[in-house]
Amino acid sequence: MSQDIVNIRKQAKMVGSFLRQEKPVPATQAVIAVLRLMLSTPLMKAEKDEFVNLIKEALGHLNNDPMIRKLYPLELLFVHGEEKRLFEEMQELLDVLKEATMSEAEEIAKTMAARKEAALEKGQKHLDAKDYDSARSVFGDISNEFPHDSQLKSNIGEKFLGNGLYEDAADYFTDAVTIDPNALHVYNRLGIALRKLERFEVAEDYFKKALPLAPEDTNLMFNLGRVYIDWGKWAMAVEFGEKAYALNPNFTEALKLANFARKKL
């Protein structure tokens, strides 16, 4: 219990610091922890007096914080013998702050999603106008703004792939699978871009990384077979075309691929 008291004391002393960092939730939780301790644990008089002073100081910070005042206009006061009432008020404040934080996070997420979508549309317009350098600039800026967004990089890769800019597409798809090694569909698209660039060995490597993630994915097998066709590795093309067709007898393109490669043997 003594270590708990040390930790609670430390957090209570940080209330002002939390608020200066615009972190009202941990500031409120620190006061709640002190009150919970006082309500549930017998304390020595010196300890209790210390915690009362810490609470009063913390409440002063909370009452003077503009954001908290806006969200929770009731003044927070410590009264001896009414610790439970204050505890309940602090819990109410915490609920209000969490709800506000959640709403703010949702708004931020919507704003970021809108920024990404606008950039994708703007970049596509440049691609449609064959202004490729401007498209690269727009896509580069939004990608740098969200450097860890695998889906965004994949979407940009699709834009380039659809316009025949295979080198650009491969770069973005590579970034996407580096961020998210389990992004199965991106491996497929990356392999296609690399095949178009005739970088067959690298394409093969990425398809083989993807296959263990989805050992019965016939599209992966078919596209790997396409790599072997362009590479002139006919036996391997037959193998993967037949595998895809065996798993999906309706996949006639896979059978055609296998038959074409078999004739080349």
Q: Who wins on pLDDT, 221 or 100?
A: 221
Contact 127, 163 (CB under 8 A): yes
**pLDDT tens per residue, range 48-95:** 899 899 999 999 999 999 889 888 988 999 999 899 999 999 999 999
Radius of gyration from C-alpha coordinates of the chain: 30
pLDDT at residue 1 tops 50: no
d(CA 22, CA 71): 14
- The rounded mean pLDDT for the chain is 93
**pLDDT tens per residue, range 124-158:** 999 999 999 999 999 999 999 999 999 999 999 99
d(CA 35, CA 40): 9
Residue 265's pLDDT is 85
The model carries a pTM of 0.66
**pLDDT tens per residue, range 4-60:** 778 888 888 899 888 888 889 999 999 999 999 888 888 888 888 998 999 999 999
Residue 100's pLDDT is 87
Give the amino acid at 7.
N
**Number of residues that make up the chain:** 265
Residue 12's pLDDT is 86
Of the candidates 80, 79, 75, 84, the one whose C-alpha atom is nearest the C-alpha of residue 32 is 84
Averaged pLDDT for residues 226-233? 97
Residue 103's pLDDT is 81
Report DSSP letters for 163-180, one per residue. TT-HHHHHHHHHHHHHH-
Residue 177 CA to its chain's centroid (Å): 14
d(CA 137, CA 123): 8
First to last CA, the chain: 78
Give the amino acid at 204.
E
